[in-house]
Amino acid sequence: MFKFKNASSSSSANGSKSSAGCLIPFGLIFFAAGLVITYFISSMIVENYQTRSWDKVAAEIVSAEVKVDRSADEDPFSLGVRFRYSVDGREFTSDTYSRVGRTSDSYEKLALRVKTLLAEDSAVAYVNPKDPAEAFLNPGSVWFGLTILFPLSFVVIGGGLAYWGFRSLKKTKKENAGGTVSISSSPTSSSKGATIGIVLGLIFAVVGLGMLYPLGIRPVALAQSAKNWIETPCKILWGKVRSHDSDDGTTYSVDIFYAYEFEGQKHRSNRYSFIGGSSGGYKGKRAIVDKFKKAKNPVCYVDPKLPERAVLKREMGWGALLGLIPVVFLLVGAGIAFASFKARAKALVGQPAGGEPSSYVQPLVSTTSSTGPRSVAAGERVLSPGKKRILSVFGLLIVALFWNGLVFGLLFREAWLNDGELFLKLFSIPFMLVGIGIVAGFFYTLLALFNPKPVLTLSPGEVTLGENASLKWTLKGSTGRIQRFRILVKGVERATYTRGTNTVTDEETFSTAVLVEKTQAMEMHEGGFEFKIPHDLMYSFKATSNEILWKLEVRGDIPFWPDLSDAYDITVHPPANS
């Protein structure tokens, strides 16, 4: 005989503990990482503000040039500038452009900065009022402060996840203390959840929009413009293949530095194509470098409107597909935000459920054991995992490849392989942790794919309250690894109602019963039984504000391996005489 229990059953409690156990550490990691990055950015913002409050003094540019360090493994170019200024009748000189180092892997960027400095009739130096010998030309961008919004989003998201996790543990503890917990005792606000979805979607969309210009729009625009650039002879100053080592392997990039003359002015550049970055395949990069080094009359293409800008290869080729990556981010983020907005709007206009949630009697369910084969009535329904497990694995694989391809292919390379600034390294850590978590989830799901596959035969295919139904199961695969095998039937209620000015949606398991429990491997392979769900329980139901769901769950405890866990929705009709 099987007894239907309320939501405080051990199975529900264990599920709550498991969910909370995932939410709390994951949320705390996000929260802590966000706090650390917020602290460093705040310090930099304060320092930037303090520098901008220094005395502004007219300065004269004495010299400005791009310095080249051929021996440097990364960022061989630096901005060399010297200026003089006067404070209280005393003359000072300084060669500091800004507090942040001005080394770069782009000669063109610094050449344009030099051009701007030399073209100015006068410059403004920011002088330390406490030490007039300390001065800068560039105190930093006023827009830098907006970067603090990114780590703050991690603080909010991480804090929210940890809060929900602790709240779930508190709820589980209360349920385990005894007594039936009302559905309304621990509500989860659907409108708040939808708001979080909107925020997350907008963050994804903004990130995609931010990447769209440098990875998509700008390279394509330059490639189109370069069709009209002037073909100009050039001289190769050096050509090499740069290697970038990481734990995941070595990537390579083309590094060609060349000089050219345009309209009587001498220029230099190291732009090979409009698509930067590094990738695998040393031989291909080596062939490109050797081709230009051995060329008798190499040419580059010069922008006639901006002669400091030149390129060796003006066609984009397959590299143009990189521009689709931020588009995917943008579309996914916009889709999440739009769907969450619709869900929130639907929740806010939902009607109250009407009255208090029903309390259910916990009766016994009579069952008859069946050890041998038996004829099954017509209208049976066969339930099996089918392709669900495979789809889950491939879905996580696509997400893992997409996310980690972006994070480790772009952000990780810029932050760690190219020795990026401390802020960039700290900013990349939460994204890397998410990527590692997705990969772990993929392998977990992949291992679960090889679990025994349960096949259930339910007859009749749709159950009626108070009437007998039969269920047979077969486990395909090795059952010897399973220590405990169970089949449960659960009733779940979802209710949307108004509480004050908020509309909330709650979900609670109002009834659960363990239909079969086996601990011997020989008994797990197959079996069958009859059962009935009490006539005074609620049948399957769906309305605007309420929904009753029934499901069969198959669980198997497997040590040192993902547990067997499959669920199937079933339809339960009201009693025939109702």
Instruction: Give the per-residue pLDDT at 415.
Output: 58
Q: How many CB atoms lie within 10 A of CB 452?
A: 20
Q: Which of 505, 508, 193 minimizes the C-alpha distance to 353?
A: 505
Q: How far apart are CA 309 and CA 266, in angstroms?
A: 12
Q: Are 62 and 82 in contact (CB under 8 A)?
A: yes
Helix 388-406 vs helix 324-348: crossing angle, to nearest 10: 120
Exposure pattern of 41-55 as b/e (b: 16+ CB <10 Å)? beebbeebeebeebe
Tokens found for residue 62: 């004495």
Q: How far apart are CA 208 and CA 571, in angstroms?
A: 42
Residue with tokens 């344009």: 112
Query: Dihedral through CA 14, CA 18, CA 20, CA 22, nearest 10?
Result: 180
Q: Are 201 and 340 in contact (CB under 8 A)?
A: yes
Q: Which residue(s) pair with 82 in the sheet?
A: 63
The per-residue DSSP string of 40-66 comes to HHHHHHHHHHHHHTSEEEEEEEEEEEE
Strand-strand pairing, 55-68 and 2-3: unpaired
Sign of torsion over alpha carbons 460, 463, 469, 474: positive
Instruction: Give the per-residue pLDDT at 376.
Output: 36
Q: How far apart are CA 106 and CA 102, in angstroms?
A: 11
* Range list of β-strands (E), 214-289: 230-246, 249-262, 265-269
- What type of residue is 339? A
Q: Which of 488, 513, 505, 571 minimizes the C-alpha distance to 183?
A: 505
Q: How far apart are CA 315 and CA 226, in angstroms?
A: 9
pTM for the structure as a whole: 0.51
Residue with tokens 């499959």: 566
pLDDT tens series, the chain, 578 aa: 454 544 434 444 444 444 455 567 777 877 888 788 888 888 877 877 778 889 999 999 999 999 998 888 778 999 999 999 999 989 999 998 887 666 888 899 999 999 988 888 788 999 999 999 999 888 776 666 767 776 777 787 778 777 777 776 666 566 555 443 333 333 344 455 566 667 667 777 777 777 777 777 778 888 888 999 999 999 999 999 888 775 556 778 899 999 999 999 999 999 999 887 777 778 888 999 999 999 999 999 999 999 999 999 988 776 666 667 777 777 777 777 777 676 666 555 443 333 333 333 333 333 333 333 333 334 788 888 877 788 888 878 887 777 777 666 666 655 555 555 555 566 667 777 777 777 778 888 888 888 888 999 999 988 988 888 899 999 888 788 888 999 999 988 888 777 656 667 777 888 888 888 998 888 888 888 888 888 888 888 888 778 888 989 999 888 878 888 888 889 999 887 76
* Cα Rg, the chain, nearest whole Å: 33
Instruction: Give the per-residue pLDDT at 428.
Output: 67
Instruction: Give the per-residue pLDDT at 487.
Output: 92
Residue 572 carries which DSSP code? E
Question: In the structure, how many helices (H) and strands (E) does the chain have?
Answer: 11, 25
Q: How far apart are CA 417 and CA 432, in angstroms?
A: 14
Q: How far apart are CA 234 and CA 292, in angstroms?
A: 10
